[in-house]
Amino acid sequence: MVTESVGRVHIVGAGPGDPDLLTVKALRLIRAADVVVYDKLVSPAIMALIPAGTARIFAGKVARNHHMPQADINDLLVGLARSGRRVVRLKGGDPFTFGRGGEEAGHLAAAGIAFEVVPGVTSASACSAYAGIPLTHRDLAHGVRFVTGHTKDGQPLVLDWPRLADPDTTLVVYMGRTSAGTICHQLIRHGLPPGTPAAAIINGTRPDQQTLIATLSDLPRQLEAMNRSAPTLLVIGRVVDLARTLAWFAPDTPLPRAGDAESG
């Protein structure tokens, strides 16, 4: 049971990067905070919205390289709240979608700290929209599944491959860059055609967004050839083909198409 405490923690979703995708509530809380505890995935453009006098604490994580372990982040939030400050825990995307927001909220609840969760636009919907890829389409995909390609402590990636290899469903993989080879191999092994359209969206919604469109069998090779270490979302399914006509976002860098990696 959560009891009233001196401070309150706002667990706020910052979205995938474009500051225009922040909710009105998120922006209001960021501007009113005494301290912002932020993640690696919060874009520089959103960080620039934090007032100059607001304390900032980096608690980011890069794949297999934790600047601050999760247990320490949990304790930090409790300590800051008990100090009476207005705390914003700023997280990329949506806090409750592969964002560990549930773990942090649970720790605050156990400590009797009042908290509030402010949803953010999650990467699956935002990045695919900016790439011109509808996640569902009545002629091409009757559903969508979200999974993560990131594993805990470097453990093998274990997913329900037979269910995920569904040609009538769009599959979205968060943090899928390093596991792209395994993911594509397993999906093909469990029945998804090698020619299934697939995309890798890198730094989605940001000025340097890149969208690589390929086939399921060729995506890992082309993604490796691009050699970009940045937040990457994988989208697999027939809807990916629509990006060839629906891509509307004009980032600073061109959108490579299948075969570009070979010529570059």
Catalytic residue at 75?
Answer: no
In angstroms, the CA 139 to CA 133 distance is 14
The answer for residues whose C-beta is within 8 angstroms of residue 32's C-beta and 6 or more apart is 86
Catalytic residue at 39?
Answer: yes
* Helix/strand/coil for 91: strand
Helix axes 70-82, 101-110, angle to 10 degrees: 50
Residue 212 pairs in a beta bridge with 200
Selected catalytic residue, list 40, 61, 241, 260: 61
Residue 13 pairs in a beta bridge with 91
Selected catalytic residue, list 39, 94, 166, 218: 39
Distance of alpha carbon 199 from its chain centroid, rounded?
A: 15
Name the nearest CA neighbour of 90 among 127, 62, 118: 118
Per-residue burial over 85-123, b = 16 or more CB atoms within 10 Å of its CB, e = otherwise: bbbbbbbbbbbbbbbbbeebbebbeebebbbebbbbbbb
CA distances from 14 to 18, 30, 116, 192, 229 (A): 9, 10, 14, 34, 21
Q: Which residues are known catalytic residues?
A: 39, 61
